[in-house]
Amino acid sequence: MKTKALLISTLCLLGANYSWAADEDVTPGHLKFADQAVGSYEFVHYSSQGANPVSPYPTEKLKEEGTVVLTGGQVKNEDASVAGFNKGCHIVASDYGNMLLIKGDGSAEEPTLSAADALAGYINVSMFTQTDFPVNTPVRFHFVSKVVGDPITADYKISVWNFGGATTNVPLPETTTYSSIDTKWWPIYADLNIAGITGDDRIPLRIRYNIPGGHLGNRAIYIATIQFTANPSGECPEFDPVNFDGWDTPNGSPATGIDAIGETNGFVAWDSQYIYLNDIDFGTEVFIYSLNGALVKTVKVTDSFVEVPMSRGAYVVKYGNKASKVVL
């Protein structure tokens, strides 16, 4: 009787491993930025020449929680490109939760990189899902990003490819994630047609995020969300590009309370070293107070992405009619 019970339990466990609940989050752990600790983030694992990672992929560099590969432009098959890119990658806190910040050449982290290290050509960030990504299961892809800093001159794009990068069985065509007319957070939703994608040459999937040539200079990229949802319920959200100009917040919630009064522009993010002022109107004075009310620093905004170096501690950042409590 005990043997039979054990066998049934084992079969149930195996079945659970290959079944996916409705609206189950199957996002690789490495891409769940909201769950990561604030601070420097080793986002990219290795580099590869060309637009797409060279296969077969080095198994010793593939990570169980998802693997990120840097390709394109002046990227080489060596660690220097990875180190230069990762230097600008941080998990930052914000009023909307933790997210990934990618700071380009010209930031405090990378003020004057050489032409080679600045990766002035286009950049592809290829993000692989885990090997047990659900196959033959409906999956919804969700991506939210925002670009701040110098005005952008070319579209940022994203696509989802099969494991080998071939043009067959590619579920999601290349889609513009952020363009020069965008001023807000831009969401992408897509239901993936993964039926028939089977075998070791088809999984895991690869998310390819394309940063246009020269766009790592004097800009910062926020990626608030990368999410895969198995067996999604409800219709896939669609946005009319004529009448929709993005979200005011990275989660799509409307501005409420103090955010809604006077519609003060911008948002604040922070990590263990900096307070980041984003999309605040030029000329605005930002006041940083200690928790006991003492004025610590005043910053006059001169750019859409401003890095304010700070000592560790807790502060209140006020500008216009907005206030954010930050803890470095």
DSSP for 37-84?
Answer: PSEE-----EE-SSSS--SS--GGG--TT-EEEEESTT--SSHHHHHH
Going from N- to C-terminal start, the domains of the chain cover 24-230, 267-327
Whether the per-residue pLDDT at 116 is higher than 70: the answer is no
Cα 235 to Cα 135, 136, 140, 212, 232: the distances in Å are: 20, 19, 10, 32, 8
Cis previous bond, 173, omega within 30: no
The reported pLDDT for the residue numbered 52 is 85
Homologous superfamily of the 24-230 domain (CATH): Galactose-binding domain-like (2.60.120.260)
189-237 confidence digits (pLDDT tens): 999 877 666 555 555 788 999 999 888 888 899 999 999 999 999 999 9
Tokens 């307070």 sit on residue = 275
Q: What is the pTM of this model?
A: 0.88
6-23 confidence digits (pLDDT tens): 333 333 333 334 578 999
Give 63's contacts (C-beta < 8 A, 6+ positions apart). Answer: 30, 45
Of 104, 96, 61, 327, the C-alpha closest to 212 is 104
Considering the domain 267-327, what is its CATH architecture? Sandwich (2.60)
The reported pLDDT for the residue numbered 212 is 92
140-167 confidence digits (pLDDT tens): 999 999 999 989 999 999 998 875 544 4
Q: What is the mean pLDDT of residues 91-103?
A: 95
268-322 confidence digits (pLDDT tens): 999 999 999 999 999 999 999 999 999 999 999 999 999 999 999 999 999 998 9
318, 284 in Cβ contact below 8 A? no
The reported pLDDT for the residue numbered 259 is 46
